[in-house]
Amino acid sequence: MVEIRLTNTRTRKKEVFEPLDAGNIRLYLCGPTVYDRAHLGNARPVLVFDVLVRLLHHVYGADRVTYVRNFTDVDDKINARAAETGRPIREITEETIQWYHDDMDALGALRPDHEPRATDYIVQMIAMIQKLIESGHAYAAEGHVLFDVRSYPDYGKLSGRSVDDMIAGARVEVAPFKRDPMDFVLWKPSSDDLPGWDSLWGRGRPGWHIECSAMSEALLGPSFDIHGGGIDLQFPHHENEIAQSCCAHPKADFARFWLHNEMLQVEGKKMSKSLGNFFTVRDLLDRGVPGEVIRFVFFQTHYRKPMDWTEEKREAAVQRLNKWATLKRNSLSDSERSFDGSMVDETVLEALGEDLNTPAVLTRLFSMEREIMSSTKQDTEIALSFFDTLQFLGFADLDTQRLYRERAVRKAIDTTAMIEALLAARTDARKARDFARADAIRDGFAAAGVEVKDTPQGAEWSLAPGFDAARLAELARMQGS
């Protein structure tokens, strides 16, 4: 069995992962606040957890893993969006959830087992808040309920800071009703025009952090295996979750492993809404960048390192996936066959087990690719394992040309037949030693964005990113094919 080692932010060490219950491994990932399209940075924790979940499925069995990712559907950003647009909150959150599903599906990310919405767990949140008040960790003041950070000695442990240090250097909102400037809101009052629920403290809505504490407990129990999110959530969000959950359940562990991914950057800067340098997953998909390509680029950088999204990487990923698609066509007798994960490469699994080392996974894939390239037989063990492994990693569909093809189909041009006819014409020309015509076809392909490679077994082709169906049609007409 593959040993899984993960860097635990809580201990700042790489530790061997041992499930609390090997029959039910439980993970929680902080999901999106649903008021807008997911930007590219939002995809990073999703892909990190996707790889982790796939590994756990493989090692322990898919039915022994419970993966939860929430939707935050009550938040002031959502309220603001509703006020701006005049649309009902529910309409905005429903639409955004649909978008999120569409976009993450396109990246090949598995859906979690549970996707709880905060508004469905208000009762549990209120119960937890009450419990915290009863145990002296929280207090009500002026319609608010606040968590008393001084009541929890370990506050700041996850992020390695002390309450005193934080107060010393930082700007903190000093509301007059706070006992300590670092105390954070569990519940706040809502005016009539804002979403609100009745509670012992009046009509109000939850603070941001309590939902994750309440939902993880409801779905995974007070102790579970792995909790994750972006490194920017380490403080204050995760610190506050720990404070809430551990004070509500002093005997439980809450999350034993904390995984944090580094930020995604663009031009060396963090991608963020406030800097305005962000773009969405949908922007890329609409530009014709397939989800597999985005996935591949993310795999190139270890999750705990900052990752720069660049056009150069995007292009390199397209080339590589094209190569794999061609390899699949040529090395398997039936390129449409399905794989069941029984031949996933051991070295790849070991690399994933070593703190989800996806760059090392790619290294191994390159070496497998090399082996297949140099073998002439079809359906060799290594080829079968390679494509089974790719499927396991979420690269089931290597068709990066799908989007170009779809465009061509809309124009009612049968590109495949056209290309094959032109290739046949070129072969005839070469046999007849009519090199001028052979070169004209070759150059025409290049101009239309069709890449042709001659192999001992015959010509192979693929569509380049700049594929132009109209120019291909023009070439076919000129050559009379």
Partner RNA sequence: GGUGGGUUGGCGGAGAGGUUACGCACCGGAUUGCAAAUCCGUGAAGACCGGUUCGAUUCCGGUACCCACCUCCA
237 carries a ligand binding annotation: yes
Q: Which of residues 184-223 bind RNA (CB under 7 A)?
A: 208
DSSP codes of every residue in 195-208: --B--TT-SEEE-T
Question: Minimum CB separation from RNA for residue 373, in Å?
Answer: 3
Q: Which of residues 256-295 bind RNA (CB under 7 A)?
A: 261-265, 268-274
From CA 247, how far away is CA 266, in angstroms rounded? 39
CB 379 within 8 A of CB 82: no
The answer to whether 66 contacts RNA (rule: CB under 7 A) is no
The answer to whether 316 contacts RNA (rule: CB under 7 A) is yes
Tell me whether strands 25-29 and 223-230 are parallel, antiparallel or unpaired.
Answer: parallel
Total Cβ atoms within 10 A of residue 105? 12
Question: Minimum CB separation from RNA for residue 411, in Å?
Answer: 26
**Which residue(s) pair with 265 in the sheet?**
270, 308
Q: Which two tokens stand for residue 116?
A: 């709880």
From CA 391, how far away is CA 168, in angstroms rounded? 51
The answer to whether 397 contacts RNA (rule: CB under 7 A) is no
Size of the site for RNA (CB under 7 A): 79
249 carries a ligand binding annotation: no
From CA 121, how far away is CA 126, in angstroms rounded? 9
Nearer to RNA, 165 or 406 (CB): 165
The answer to whether 322 contacts RNA (rule: CB under 7 A) is no
Choose which of 312, 334, 336, 340 interacts with RNA (CB under 7 A).
312
Q: Which of residues 403-462 bind RNA (CB under 7 A)?
A: 430, 435, 438-439, 442, 451-455
275: helix, strand or coil: coil
From CA 477, how far away is CA 471, in angstroms rounded? 10
The answer to whether 466 contacts RNA (rule: CB under 7 A) is no
The answer to whether 140 contacts RNA (rule: CB under 7 A) is no
Question: Minimum CB separation from RNA for residue 481, in Å?
Answer: 17
Residue 426 Cα distances to 356, 413, 460, 468, angstroms: 47, 20, 13, 20
The answer to whether 353 contacts RNA (rule: CB under 7 A) is no
Best CA proximity match to 5, nearest among 349, 342, 390: 349
Question: Minimum CB separation from RNA for residue 310, in Å?
Answer: 7
443: helix, strand or coil: helix
The answer to whether 160 contacts RNA (rule: CB under 7 A) is yes
Residues 6 or more apart from 315 whose CB is under 8 A from it?
465
The answer to whether 328 contacts RNA (rule: CB under 7 A) is no
The answer to whether 30 contacts RNA (rule: CB under 7 A) is yes
Side chain identity, residue 201 = W
Choose which of 172, 425, 447, 464 interacts with RNA (CB under 7 A).
172
From CA 97, how far away is CA 274, in angstroms rounded? 22
Give the contact letters, 360-379, x = binds to RNA (CB under 7 A), - = no. Answer: x-xx--xx--x--xx-----
The answer to whether 308 contacts RNA (rule: CB under 7 A) is yes
Question: Minimum CB separation from RNA for residue 63, in Å?
Answer: 28
CA atoms within 13 A on the CB side of 164: 1
450: helix, strand or coil: strand
The answer to whether 306 contacts RNA (rule: CB under 7 A) is yes
Nearer to RNA, 113 or 232 (CB): 232
Instruction: Name the strands in the sheet holding 204-206, side by side, starting at the edge strand that comes first in the sequence.
Output: 138-141, 144-147, 184-189, 204-206
Nearer to RNA, 35 or 139 (CB): 35
Choose which of 4, 8, 17, 41 interacts with RNA (CB under 7 A).
41
Question: Minimum CB separation from RNA for residue 78, in Å?
Answer: 10
Nearer to RNA, 20 or 362 (CB): 362
57 carries a ligand binding annotation: no
Side chain identity, residue 177 = F
**Which residue(s) pair with 146 in the sheet?**
139, 185
The answer to whether 112 contacts RNA (rule: CB under 7 A) is no
**Which residue(s) pair with 257 in the sheet?**
226
30 carries a ligand binding annotation: yes
The answer to whether 161 contacts RNA (rule: CB under 7 A) is yes
- The dihedral built from the CA positions of residue 42, 48, 50 and 56, taken in this order, carries a sign that is negative
From CA 461, how far away is CA 63, in angstroms rounded? 41
The answer to whether 323 contacts RNA (rule: CB under 7 A) is yes
Residue with tokens 């809505």: 205
Nearer to RNA, 63 or 283 (CB): 283
Choose which of 4, 8, 19, 32 interacts with RNA (CB under 7 A).
32
Question: Minimum CB separation from RNA for residue 392, in Å?
Answer: 19
Q: Is the peptide bond before 222 cis (omega within 30 degrees of 0)?
A: no
241 carries a ligand binding annotation: yes
Choose which of 159, 335, 347, 481 interacts with RNA (CB under 7 A).
159
Give the contact letters, 230-259, x = binds to RNA (CB under 7 A), - = no. Answer: xxxxxxxx----------------------
Give the residue ranges of the annotated binding site.
30, 212, 237, 241, 273
Give the residue ranges of the annotated binding site for ATP.
273
Give the residue ranges of the annotated binding site for Zn(2+).
30, 212, 237, 241
